[in-house]
Structure 1
Amino acid sequence: MAEAYPWQEGLWQQLSRRERHAHAYLLHGPAGIGKRALAERLAAALLCSAPLAGDACGQCKACLLLRAGTHPDFFELQPEEADKPIRVDQVRELVDFVAQTAQLGGRKLVLLEPAEAMNLNAANALLKSLEEPAGDTVLLLVSHQPSRLLPTIKSRCQQQACPLPGAAAGLAWLAGRLPEQEGAVHQRLLELAAGSPLRALQLYQDGVLEQRLLVEEGVKKLLKQQAAPSELAEGWKNVPLPLLLDWFCEWLLLVLRFRMTGDEAGLGAAQMSKVMRYLAERAPLPAVLELQEWLLAQRQKVLGKANLNRVLLLEALLVRWASLPLAG
């Protein structure tokens, strides 16, 4: 059975107590807050023949088949490979499944994640099934970036925002998963994960704390002219490109915030606060805004799986970054 996260309890009560369910839900929110587990829990409850207090019983034939991965009325769709799009032929298989009669005589369930991975043709192929699914079918779409979905996809679903836990709840959960680490590590991980506990745990397991330290030290050396952009781009080859772009976007926002407010509390974590203040005081606003626009455009290309030369992109970014305090 999917894990039940404490920060989801209110939403779960709201969903599980419904007498009638929508034919399609769009569960959306930041990555790493447990949306997939919520969708699996809801799918199990809707397929269960004898639910208990809204939850799947775990003992009936439907529950046993679902647990074994052999439930004939459950269809799961996701990219065939990590970071690859969901293709139109995959969605056509889903459409065929929706058109069939439920073999166990109850509901049919579809779980699609992440919904934004569908390419344009795949998304268009799904529209009719979303609007008028055959029989008693419920489609559960999970999205980490709903802004990338077609408006026609979103309009055919009941959209449900999933909650981000409060700081205390997130720290408590993460401390339970990483009891060997100090509270400062838990706090740092949650900061890097923008408050998403599951994402924070994944970052720890992927060694991102060490990667972040490497990048922070590299940026400081770059601004002191102690390291060249090409050298840093090569040294960061093991750091995921989306992560790098997110970090530089984050830092630019901190620079802009300090320029607008002068509030030192808004300079971010102590590890980079002096760098942020240095850039905010020396970089002219037009140069910061121009770099932000360029960086967001490159980030969008990366998220869209564009075929970019990683080293050249990073070198271009670092050349622009190093020139910020010189532009004034």
Structure 2
Amino acid sequence: MAEAYPWQESLWQQLTRRERHAHAYLLHGPAGIGKRALAERLLARLLCRSPENLEACGHCKACQLLAAGTHPDVFVLEPEEADKAIKVDQVRDLVAFVAQTAQLGGRKLVLVEPVEAMNLNASNALLKSLEEPSGDTVLLLVSHQPSRLLPTVKSRCVQMACPLPDEATGLAWLAQALPDSGEEERRELLALAAGSPLTALRLQEQGVREQRALVVEGVKKLLKQQQAPSQLAESWNAVSLLLLFDWFCDWAQLILRYQLTRDEEGLGATDMRKVVQYLADKSAQAKVLALQDWLLEQRQKVLSKANLNRVLLLEALLVQWASLPGQG
């Protein structure tokens, strides 16, 4: 059974106490807050023949088939390969499933995640099923980036914003998930994950704190002219490209914020505060704005899985970063 996260309790009550369920829900919010688990939990609840206290019973025939992965009235749609698009042929299989009669005589459930992985043709192919699903069918769509969805997809769903836990709740959950870690490590992980506890756990498993330390050290050497952009670009091969752009976008924003407010409390994580303050003091605001625009544009290309030359892209980033100090 999918895990129930404490920060979802209010939304869970709202969903399960509905007298009549919508034909399509869009569960959206930041990655790493448990949206997939919430969708799977709701899917189980809607299929269960004898729910107990708003939860699936786990014992009826529907629950047993679901646990075994053999429930005939469940269709899960996701990319065939990690980080790849959901293809139109996959959506056509979904459409054919929706048109069928439920084999167990109850509801049919469809889970799509992440919805933004559908290309344009796939999204358009889904619209008819979203608008008029046959029989008692409920579609559960999970999105980490709802801004990338077609308006016609969003308008056909009941949109449910999934909450990000407050810091205290996130830290308490991490303390249980990482009992051997210290409080400082958990705070750092949660900050690196932008408050998403499941992302923080994944970052810890991937050794991202060590990767971040490597990148921060490299940035400092770059600004001191102790390491060339090409050398750094090659040395960061183990670090996710999206993660690198997330960090540099964050640092550019912090530089601009400090230039505008001079608020030393808003300099971000301790590992880069002195660097951010130095660049804010030494860089022309126009150059920082131009770099931020470029970073956001390239980050969008990374998100859309564009065919990019990683080393050349990072070299271009680092050359611009190194040229920030000084006027002009």
User: For residue 72 of structure 1, what is the aligned residue in structure 2?
Assistant: 72
Q: 1:17 aligned to 2:17?
A: yes
d(CA) in 1 for partners of 2:273, 2:186:
20
Alignment of 1:1-328 (within 5 A): 1-328=1-328
Letter in 2 for 1:282: K
CA contact (8 A) 2:284 2:326 kept: no
Following superposition, the deviation at residue 326 of structure 1 comes to: 2.7
CA contact (8 A) 2:283 2:324 kept: yes
The alignment partner of 1:247 has SS state of helix
The alignment partner of 1:140 has SS state of strand
The alignment partner of 2:20 has SS state of coil
Letter in 2 for 1:60: C
d(CA) in 1 for partners of 2:255, 2:230:
24
The alignment partner of 2:86 has SS state of coil
Following superposition, the deviation at residue 124 of structure 1 comes to: 0.7
d(CA) in 2 for partners of 1:217, 1:2:
40
d(CA) in 1 for partners of 2:276, 2:93:
50
Following superposition, the deviation at residue 282 of structure 1 comes to: 1.1
The alignment partner of 1:181 has SS state of coil
Which aligned runs of 4 or more in structure 1 are off by greater than 4 angstroms?
Answer: none
Per-residue CA deviation, residues 183-207 of structure 1 (Å, 9 max, x unaligned), is 0000000000000000000000011
Letter in 2 for 1:81: E
The alignment partner of 1:271 has SS state of helix
d(CA) in 2 for partners of 1:302, 1:181:
32
CA contact (8 A) 2:256 2:280 kept: yes
Letter in 1 for 2:34: G
d(CA) in 1 for partners of 2:236, 2:94:
40
Following superposition, the deviation at residue 327 of structure 1 comes to: 3.7
Aligned residues: 328
The alignment partner of 2:325 has SS state of helix
d(CA) in 1 for partners of 2:112, 2:94:
10
Per-residue CA deviation, residues 179-238 of structure 1 (Å, 9 max, x unaligned), is 111100000000000000000000000111110000000001101111100000000011
d(CA) in 1 for partners of 2:262, 2:104:
64
The alignment partner of 1:26 has SS state of strand
d(CA) in 2 for partners of 1:62, 1:311:
51
d(CA) in 1 for partners of 2:203, 2:144:
17
Identity between Structure 1 and Structure 2 (%): 74
Following superposition, the deviation at residue 151 of structure 1 comes to: 0.9
d(CA) in 1 for partners of 2:300, 2:17:
39
d(CA) in 2 for partners of 1:306, 1:239:
18
d(CA) in 2 for partners of 1:158, 1:315:
44
Per-residue CA deviation, residues 54-103 of structure 1 (Å, 9 max, x unaligned), is 11000000000001000000000100111100000000000000000000
The alignment partner of 1:296 has SS state of helix
d(CA) in 1 for partners of 2:129, 2:11:
26
d(CA) in 2 for partners of 1:290, 1:62:
56
d(CA) in 2 for partners of 1:327, 1:178:
46
Per-residue CA deviation, residues 132-158 of structure 1 (Å, 9 max, x unaligned), is 111110000000011111111111111
d(CA) in 2 for partners of 1:216, 1:190:
18
Segments of structure 2 that go 5 or more residues without pairing to the other structure are none
d(CA) in 1 for partners of 2:23, 2:257:
43
Per-residue CA deviation, residues 251-280 of structure 1 (Å, 9 max, x unaligned), is 011011111111000001111000000111
Following superposition, the deviation at residue 53 of structure 1 comes to: 1.8
CA contact (8 A) 2:80 2:86 kept: yes
CA contact (8 A) 2:44 2:63 kept: yes
d(CA) in 2 for partners of 1:243, 1:215:
11
Letter in 1 for 2:283: A
